[in-house]
Each structure stands twice: as C-alpha cells, then as structure tokens.
Structure 1
C-alpha cells in the first residue's frame, strides 16, 4: 500500500475544539433557545413555561403539524442515526442506508395511528402509561413503566455514548469528560423552557441537519475533485469491490441490493425501531403536544421527511469514503470493518477536510442535545404523572406538578452523564445498543397498541405477553449468541443474527399471546372513562376494579363524576376536532402507513434486487431520486413550519419593534 495514503479516521481537530463545541457551543445554543423562549413568553404570555405545568410538559397541546414534523425528525435523528447508517453502508453497501431509512420512516408514520387514538380515547393524557394505569391497574402500570423507562435509559445511553464517541473521534477530547459535559446545556434550557423549548431546539437542529446533508451530498456527487459525479463514484465503487469486497453481497459489490445480511439488518431496524416509537415516551409526548386535528398530518410529514436523513447522508458519506479509498493508489486508506463506526467522521474529513470535521461535529452535537432534551421531558413526565402524582400526591396542585417536572429534568439530566460513562467504560458500541433496544422493548409493541386502541384488549393476556415475550427474546438472543459464537459476550451478542433472534423473539411471542387472548377472551372497556378523565389516578382503592367493569355500570360513572372530575372541564382535556373527523384521520393514517410500507420495504427493494449488480445508469437514477426526496423533505421541515407560523412570527416581530422603539402596548 502506498505510504502517501492518509488516514481519514484520525482526529483532525484539537481537543480544545472539542471542549469549545461541547461547552461554548452548548451553552451558546442554550442561551439562544432561552432568549427565544423569553421573547415568545413576552408576546404570548399563555406560552410561558413558568406559569403552567400543561405548558411545561405538553406545550398546551397547541403545536402545528410542520413543527411537529420537524420535532419528529429531530427526535429520530440521534448521533447514532448518522453514524450507524454510515457504518452499515460500509458493511452492507448501499442496501444498508436504504433499509435503515425505509424501516425507520414507516415506523414513524405507523405511530400516527397511536397519536390519533390517544387524542380520540384519552385527550387529557400526558403519558401513554397513564392510560394503562387507569385501565388495567397498578400491576400493569408498574410493569409497562419498567419497560418504558428502560427504553428511555437505553436510548439515552445511545445518545450520550454516540455523542462522546463522535467528539472523541474528531477532536481527541476525553470521552468521559464529554459524557458529563454534554448534558449540561441541555438541562439548562429544558429546565427553564420545558417541551416548547425542546421544539425550538428541534427546529434549529433539523435545519442544520439538512444543511449538512446538502453539503456532503453535493461534495460527493458533484463538486469533489476526485469524485464529482454519480458516474465517477460508481466506477470507483467497482474498483473498491475488487479490493475490499462486501462480505455476502453479490459479486462483493457496493452497488447491489443482494445482501442477505443487509436484508436481515433491515428486519432488525423495523422491529427495533417499532419498539422504540411505541415504548419511548418521547414520541407520545409529541402526540400529546400536537393539535388533535393535525396530529396525523404531523407524523406522516415527519416520517416522509425523515427518510433522506439516514438514506441520503449515509449514501453520500459512506459511498464517498469507500470511493476515496477504493485502491492502493487512492488518496485515503481504506477503513477496516473494525473501524466501521468511524465512517461518517472519516468521510467528512476526506471530502471536506477540517471544515468537514467541524461541519459534522456541530450538528451531531446538536443532535445529541436536542434528542436528549426530548428524553429529559419524556422521563420527567413519567416521573411527574406516573410516579409522583399517581402514587405520592394524587391531589397535587399545578405548582407542585411543575416542581416535580423540574426535579425530574434535573435528576435525569445528572443521570445521563453517569449512563454515558458506564457504557463507554464497559465497551458497548452504538450497534450493540441499537440491536438491544428491540430485544428489550419489542415485547411492549402489541400490548401497548391494544391498550390504547382496542376496548377488547385482554388485560391478563397483554401483561403475560409483555413479560413472556421479553423473556423469550432474551433467551433467543443469548442462545443464538452461544450457538453462533460459542460464547456469550459483548462481541457475540452484537451480531446481526443474534440481534434478529432477540428482536423477533420479543416481538412475535408478545404479539401472539396478546392477540390470541384478546380474540378468545375479549374485554369490553369503556373508553369514555379515559375520555372524561383528565387526572389519571384512581380516587379510591376500588377505582381500578370499577374501570374494568362493563360500561353500563353506573357506579363507575358516578365515581368519575367525583370532585376531581372537574378537571375534565380543562381546555387541555378537549380536542379541536370531532370524533368523526379523528376517526377519518385514523383511517387515512392506516392507508398511508400500509401503502408506504409496501412501497418502501417491499415493492422498491423487490425492484432493486432484480439486477444482480446495478448499472451506472441505475445507480445515477438512484442518487438523483435521493436528491429530489431530500429537497422535498427540507421544504417540509425547514420552510413549512415558518410558513404555518407566519402570523405568530409577524406578531412577535411587531412586538420586538415596538419594544425597541418604545411603542409597545404590552
């Protein structure tokens, strides 16, 4: 190999830059978000997070679809999203980013059905666990809360570990220091601004993410002197396939969909991602915060707009890095499979030099902060409404609820740093955490979906499905690791087939048990109980028994008419659309989800596997399609939120002008 080749995976920035980004940029970003919140609160006092727990934890349930879509894209775009998608591009070729993107996008769209059912059946809910607690009682509530909080902990570990690893890879900054310092600015602006502050940070982060996607994509396929066009990239990829072939892909090619391991990874993405969106309170938080009349629209737009984030970025970065290291005379050294986690940083450095490293570092850091902020609010809501208010202070005042929310944000913010250090020290990778998420949480998908959607859901069957599915998933995961690797350790349990066994075991066993018991022994729950209830706590020791009885039992109705039921008159317990309209939205979401899943995960891949190895024309068409989708997505999550909020923005601008000129009427 030529000695003139450079190692693009080596840090190109100094540790001082790392500390500057983590502390300087982090605190600066916090100041900007807090300033925006202060200005908003001045000209829209009803949106001040210091005055109301509803505003703090659910943004008064008033957010419009464009901002919801932007928030969904931001919440789904962790550091792991960009890093892992680029990694699988090196490992599986172009099939890796496609499966990552298609699987994740359809899950987000599928969650639109949960969002509309939550609005329809429990308009006053703050968490999905509140509905389960009221419907099925304490044992079920505690069981599902274990998996809900566990999912948040695993996802937070991915966030902090991925962020620290990226900063370390690009700057050489101490990873342990990064684990502790990254959460600081997040806690500051989340503690003050609540959920609405999270959405403001989400919008800024999403805009930056699409900016970096545009830059890396045009560099790889248009402006880079070594690459510069899809045709040039294609030719270099054929050279790379000869020198560094993809393990099981057809002809060892990077330009084929015929990779069995890539397909297996796609199944893992679908199951693990579905488990994430069902069991992560972050997604339910956005359903709570949205307007009922537009919640489905927000999730469908968010799913559509998320597709190019892993697809376009990882395709450009991954294939760009592979092309630039295609042979012994290429300018950069090829990355080995053991270095696959560094594909994204290496690609940005190779394509754009130090400016590329900085360009990646900033949005990846903001990806960590914005997603971590969403996790903070989500966990804080569970602590507030499902722990403090349900078990310790059922009659808590709004001030006490707000206090509990602040304590939850601060406490979990401190815990974030500890989580990052733990997983960093024991050597667990992002790929391992990503696969384990599905093994842990997939058992909750069908039970939670039935609890929110179906009055016939069988309590005991769903609870049994949750725990038995989880146990079977763990057994399948560890058993497959032992069978394939001969030993159970971090390396063997992180394999593709081991993760598939764990994910599938949890998901399908829980689905079979919960669906079968519901079909054979259906319940008959009255969702009017959850529709009329804004405070999701039993009012006496027998309340849980009452809510499980038939809807015609007047004792239940009388119980729900107690003095606490006055909360049902609260504006936040009502929807801005009729049940008939919401049901039509639900049907629309089903058709859109099924159609896009069939298109993205079945029809398009079926067409793409027809050629054994793609032609240059086919590859060029694929890249052009990715560009078109990226531009459309950017319009949805960057331009559309500004357009739909134009009236409010104009009011704020007039207010600021009035403040500056002394003509303010406020």
Structure 2
C-alpha cells in the first residue's frame, strides 16, 4: 500500500470516547444499574413470597426458588466475562473462523458437564451452601482448609439444585484479579479514564445492590446482562452480513476474506486463509445443558461477526479501515464495534463489557461472603451463631471483598500482569482440584488421602512443569515467558493429569464407604426459635482433632423443624444424571470431534460452505435468545402477573397488607 492510501484509511481501534464518558459509565450507569436492581428486589419483596433479605438463607440462596430459564440466563452471563467477548474476537482475527468455534465449543461442553455435578449435589447434599461444607463434613478440618485454599484462589460455580437452586460461587482471588484487570483496562483503553480510579469505582454499584438484594439480585442483573449480550451479537451479525454498506452479505464478506488472505495471510493456516479449519496448532442437568447450549453463540456468533468483519473491512488498500497490527489484535472487538455500528458502537460495547464485569463481580461477592460466613465464621468462630449474626457477617463479607477487589486490581495493574497471563495461571493453580472435588461430591468410594495427595502433588508438579517449560523455552523465568502458550499448557496438563491419576488410582485401590445420608441431612432442620429457612445449628462432636457435624436429628427436632427437601425423587435425579452424562458426551463428540472431521476436509472453504456457516451462527443465536431471554419471562409469567396485580391494587388503594 502507498503511504497516501494508508493515511486515508480510518483506524477503528483508536479510542473515540472521552475520559468523561468512562466516568459516566462507571459511576452513573453503575449506580443507576444498582438502583434498578434494588427496585426489582423491592418489587419481589413486596409482591411475592420470595424476599431477598430477612435471613441468611434468603440472602445466599435466593430461597432456592430460581427457575431453569433464569438459571440458564445466569450461566450464560457468568460465563461471558468481558474477556470472553474481547478474546474470542481476537482469536478470530488471529486464526480465522476456526478460532471462535474452538473457543465456544470447548467452553460450552464444560458448562454442560456441570449439569452432572448439579444433579449429584441435589441428590447427595441438597441443604449445603458451599461444596466446602460437604468436604468438611466428609473429610474433616485439614481437607476443608486444603480445598478452601484452592477454592478461594480460583473460580468454581456450583449449582446445588437443578430447578430450585442454591448457587454458590466458591471464589476467588485470581478471578477477581481477572475481572478488575480487564474491566479497568478496557475502560482506560476506550476512554482514557484513570485505571486506578476504575479499579475502585467499578465495584461500588455492585456492592450496593448485592448487599441488599443478595443472590437473587445477581440473577436479575445476569438476565439484563444476557439480554444486552444477545442484542449486541445480533447487531454485529446483521450489520456485518446484511446492512453494512461496504460488506452487507456473507458472499461479499467471503470475497473480501480471500483478498485479506493474500494481503495479510494467517501464518499456519492453509494458504493463509481466514476460511479454513486446517491449522495444526488447533489440535493442541437441565440448567447447565440449556446454559451451555445458549452460551455457544456468544463467542461463536459474536466473534465470527466481529473478527471477520474487521478483517474484511481492511482487506486491501481500497478498504475504508486500516488493518490491525499483531500488537492491536486484542482490540478486534472494539474496532469492529466502531466500524460496524459507528460512533454508537464503542459506548454500546463498553456498556456490555462493563455489565459483564459487574455481573460476574456481583456473583463473586455473594460467593466469597458465603465462604466467609459458613466455612469460616459458622464452622470455626461461632458454631452456634444466630441467623442475625450470620446475615451480618455475610454483609460484612460483601463490603470487605468489594474493597479487596479494588486493591487487587491496582496491584496487578502496577506489576504489569496481563489478562492472558492470569487466564493461563488459573488452570495451573486450580486444575489439580477438579477431579478430587468431583470424586468427593459424587462418589462415596472416594479416598480422602488419595484425593488430598492428588490435590497437593498435582499442584506442585503443575507449578514445576510451568516454570521449567518457561525456563526451557524462554531462557529465563519472568512474566513474559511464564505467559506463553506451551508454558501454560505444561502447567495445566501437569496439574490436572497427575491429580487425576493419583486420586483415581488410590480411590479405586483403597475405596472408602461413606454414608451419603450424612451429607443429605446437612442443614436439613430448623429449630423453632430460628428464623432462617432450612438453617440449623447442628451439634458438633469431637472426632480426634477434627470436628464433624452431627446430623442425627431426633424425631422431636424433626417435628419442630422445617424440612428442606428435594422436589424430585432420587430415582428421577439418577435418571437425570444418566441423561446428562449421555447428552454431554454426545454434544462433545458432535461439537469437538464430528465438526472437526467435517470442517478440515476442505482446505479452504467454498463460498457456499461459508454462507452455511454464517446461517448456522444466526440460527443458533436465535434459538439461544429464546432460551435465555423469552423463556425466563414465560416461566415466570404467573409471578409477573401477581406483581402487576399487586401494583395495580396499590395504585387503586385496594391493597392494604404490606409484606
């Protein structure tokens, strides 16, 4: 290209918003959104039987009354961090159309796999607040502290019910760092707002509505966030493949991508093409099923539209936009927003990214306060705490962790740790706990010492493999070398597979025979003088140097208390579990094996194949939109009608009783 031509092209990655816009979004929208969530919470408190406050059980578990559609919407929201939208568009720019698919398919199948854990938890511990409670009851104090260390260091989201749910996010230092890092960095990149100010201001509104609304408010925010996500996906898709004056159709985009493959080929792809799956390096229950299915279009459809559009819009010297350099690849999504939607695109994307951060942060606040409350305060500090004390500690945990989020964001910003580094290290740090936790929750034969050995040995070996590979490839151990692909792969693989082998072999060779009735009766009964639904101050007995909860409740207590029970029989839950396993395996085979075999056959896709791929993205997005946007409204139609009737009665003066 000539220098004159380059000067006439627009740099879509350049910030077009002022710092004032950044402060307006973080402060005005943050507090406005908090106000909206509080208003919705007050409506449900006044006009429905489900109250956000009043007891610790309601605050941390939303009265265990959330429905599948809303949970699926929450799952999509929780899985869609700001980094999801940014990184998926980046991999599309770097790898072509195969990048978004692998990003989406791998994540979706993992989400669906959680359905099995959800069902097993519903069967084996329906009254638990966190999975750490189950570990404490089953394996005692040392195991409890061991898994709490990894639970607080990483992100694990466990829905303890499938239809009537208690959602606990066992949270997390590393995930918090990711959220505050990407949130503040994104606002700074697009508007120039001070990064340190963003680190502290972003959590403010989240703390406000989480403090009052508890878990239920996080699901309301998740629903609104998911609705906006799909709105921007469809906006990007229709703009790129239907109405954009320079693009306007899949056929035109395909033609421009062939030009881009000639001018800016992708190293490693067949013929440098953007429309191929031939790349060697790529080889390297109901709520979760709905959520996993619905999540797939987020990186798939969004990144396909955003990533391919910005490539097509800068295909050659006659294109209206300048191509992004390798160093600018992380700006693919913001650049596409500006190029496709004009000046409104940048603030729209920034709002969605901001809500992605606040939505996940809200869930973290509830989760970390649950651990502080039930796994630290209630278990070790004040075993006979009243419900008022428990609720107070939960509120303190929310505020305290909100402040911690800001401090941690500043720390990682100052030391220069990137989001991609944090992503990779999360797997190295946490992978050793995946199988041991799964065995504890799902199998009565899991061996305590085998799982603990797998946890710690796997972690140590994962760290060693990570650092050794960094030294071997980079010659030095620093932030740059430890953030490489092969280094992170070595750490993840070493941590996961060693833990799996050790815990699996020991549990098979020396199986335990744990009585699952113990965990099934956890937090099952409530004394008459307590006001928390399903909460019980269970007596504790000494077992050597460990404390275990006595779940042998007398018939008198049974008559006095309130029984928290499943809404399905164990046989039904077992059938659901088998169905979930089969469906997850089938979807994995289809998404990650069958699609691969079919898509790599053509070295470079034909125009007809490319159009079919785009149509599939649109169809999947429409179906997912129905599941996570329309279906939650339909399943809550009776509650919404009751709220509307209550409002009309208040207006007319016919309703006197106030809950």
CA contact (8 A) 1:533 1:565 kept: no
1:382 and 2:385 correspond: no
Q: Are 2:12 and 1:8 aligned?
A: yes
- For residues 263 and 171 of structure 1, what CA distance do their matches in structure 2 show? 38
Whole-angstrom distance in 1 between the partners of 2:603 and 2:556: 64
| Cα distance between partner residues in 1 of 2:248 and 2:557 | 65
Given the alignment of the two structures, is residue 40 of structure 1 paired with residue 44 of structure 2, yes or no? Answer: yes
Q: For 2:236 and 2:577, how far apart are their aligned partners in 1?
A: 38
1:553 aligned partner: none
Indicate how the Cα distance of structure 1 residues 512 and 348 shifts in structure 2: closer, same or farther if over 3 A, else same: same
Q: Matches of 1:405 and 1:564 in 2, distance apart?
A: 31
* Alpha-carbon distance in 1 for matches of 2:381, 2:557: 21
- Does the aligned pair in 1 maintain the 2:444–2:512 contact within 8 Å? yes
1:144 to 140, 143, 147: 147
Report the counterpart of residue 648 of structure 1 in structure 2.
639
- Give the distance between the partners of 1:446 and 1:216, measured in 2 at CA: 39
Residue 490 of structure 1 aligns to a residue in which SS? coil
Q: 1:177 Cα deviation (Å)?
A: 1.2
**Is 2:88 the counterpart of 1:97?**
no
Q: TM-score, length-normalised on structure 2? A: 0.92
1:625 aligns with 2:616: yes
Indicate whether 1:582 and 2:573 are aligned. yes
Tell me the equivalent position of 1:63: 66
Distance in 1 of aligned mates of 2:459 and 2:452: 11
Q: Is the 8 A contact 2:210 2:218 kept in 1?
A: yes
Match of 1:635 among 622, 626, 634: 626
Corresponding residue to 1:430 among 419, 425, 429: 419
**How much does 1:328 deviate?**
3.0
Secondary structure of the residue that 1:119 maps to in structure 2?
Answer: helix
| Whole-angstrom CA distance in 2 between matches of 1:88 and 1:26 | 30
1:237 aligns with 2:240: no
Residues 120 and 570 (structure 1), Cα distance of their counterparts in 2 relative to 1, 3 Å cut: farther
| Aligned-partner Cα distance in 1 for 2:558–2:433 | 30
Partner Cα separation in structure 1 for residue 151 and residue 204 of structure 2: 24
CA distance 1:622–1:479, shift in 2 (3 Å): same
Structure 1 pair 129–538 and aligned structure 2 pair: CA distance change class (3 A): farther
How far the C-alpha of 1:48 sits from its partner, in A, is 1.9
Q: In structure 2, what is the equivalent of residue 605 of structure 1?
A: 596
- Please, which of 222, 226, 230 is the counterpart of residue 210 of structure 1? 230
C-alpha displacement of 1:660: 1.2
Q: Note if 1:201 corresponds to 2:221.
A: yes
Distance 1:156 1:113 in 2: 26
Q: Counterpart of 1:300?
A: 289
In the other structure, the counterpart of 1:495 is 484
1: distance between equivalents of 2:370 and 2:128? 11
- The Cα of 1:655 is off from its aligned counterpart by 0.4
Task: Name the SS of the counterpart of 1:3 in structure 2.
Answer: helix
Partner residue in 1 for 2:543: 542
Candidates 596, 616, 619, aligned match of 2:587: 596
Equivalent residue for 2:193, pick from 173, 191, 206: 173
Correspondences of 1:446-595 after superposition (within 5 Å):
446-534=435-523, 539-542=540-543, 559-561=550-552, 566=557, 571=562, 573-595=564-586
**CA distance in structure 1 between the aligned counterparts of 2:335 and 2:97, rounded to whole angstroms:** 17
Pair 1:27-2:31 in alignment = yes
Structure 1 unmatched ranges of 5 or more: 265-295, 548-555
| CA displacement at 1:230 relative to structure 2 | 1.0
Q: CA offsets per residue over residues 449-481 of structure 1, 9 Å max, x none?
A: 000000000100100101111111111111112
Q: How does 1:325-336 map to 2 (within 5 A)?
A: 325-336=314-325
Contact in 1 for aligned 2:541/2:547 (Cα 8 Å):
no
Alignment match, 1:442 = 431
Which residue matches 2:82? 79
Whole-angstrom CA distance in 2 between matches of 1:72 and 1:612: 36
Does residue 320 in structure 1 map to residue 321 in structure 2? Answer: no
Distance verdict in 2 for CA 1:539–1:421, change over 3 Å = same
Whether the aligned pair in 1 keeps the contact of 2:94 and 2:329 (CA below 8 Å) is: yes
Which of 645, 651, 656 lines up with 1:660 in the alignment? 651
Structure 2 counterpart of 1:49, from 44, 52, 61: 52
CA contact (8 A) 1:9 1:169 kept: no
TM superposition shift of 1:570:
5.5
1:546 shift after superposition = 9.2
Shift in Å, 1:156: 1.5
Q: What whole-Å deviation, never above 9, does each CA across 1:510-544 have from its counterpart, x for those lacking one?
A: 10001000111101000000011215977022188
Which of 307, 319, 337 aligns to 2:326? It is 337
Residues 60, 572 of structure 1: 8 Å contact kept: no
1-structure distance, mates of 2:562, 2:460:
42
What is the CA–CA distance in structure 1 between the aligned matches of 2:410 and 2:558, rounded to whole Å?
A: 43
Counterpart in the other structure of 1:286: none
Displacement of 1:591 after TM fit?
A: 0.9
SS of equivalent residue, structure 1 residue 540: strand
> What's the CA shift for 1:50?
2.1
- What secondary structure is seen at the aligned counterpart in 1 of 2:480? helix
In structure 1, the partner of 2:22 is 18
Q: Aligned residue for 2:528? A: none
Q: Indicate whether 1:134 and 2:123 are aligned.
A: no
Alignment correspondent of 1:223:
243
1:475-512 deviation per Cα after TM superposition (whole angstroms, max 9, x unaligned): 11111122222222222222222221111111111100
Per the normalisation by structure 1, the TM-score is 0.91
Name the counterpart of 2:532: none
In structure 1, C-alpha distance between the alignment counterparts of 2:84 and 2:255, rounded to whole Å: 28
The 3 A distance-change label for structure 1 pair 657 and 615 is same
- Cα pair distance change 1:560/1:574, threshold 3 Å: same
Query: Could you tell me how far apart the structure 2 residues matched to 1:86 and 1:297 are?
Result: 29
Structure 1 residues 608 and 409, CA gap change in structure 2 (3 angstroms): same
**CA deviation after TM superposition for structure 1 residue 561, in Å:** 2.3
Q: Distance in 1 between matches of 2:427 and 2:560?
A: 39
The answer to whether the 8 A contact 1:444-1:510 is kept is yes
Q: Do the aligned residues in 1 keep the contact of 2:141 with 2:546 (CA within 8 Å)?
A: no
Q: SS of the residue aligned with 2:402?
A: helix
Equivalent position to 1:353, from 333, 338, 342: 342
Q: How many residues align?
A: 624
Contact between 1:134 and 1:538, CA under 8 Å: does it hold in 2?
Answer: no
What do the CA deviations read for 1:168-217 (whole angstroms, capped 9, x no partner)? 22212112211111000000000000000101111111111100100011
Q: In the superposition, relative to structure 1, how do residues 567 and 369 fare at CA in structure 2: closer, same or farther (>3 Å)?
A: farther
> 1:460 is paired with a residue of what secondary structure?
helix
The answer to whether residue 202 in structure 2 is matched with residue 182 in structure 1 is: yes
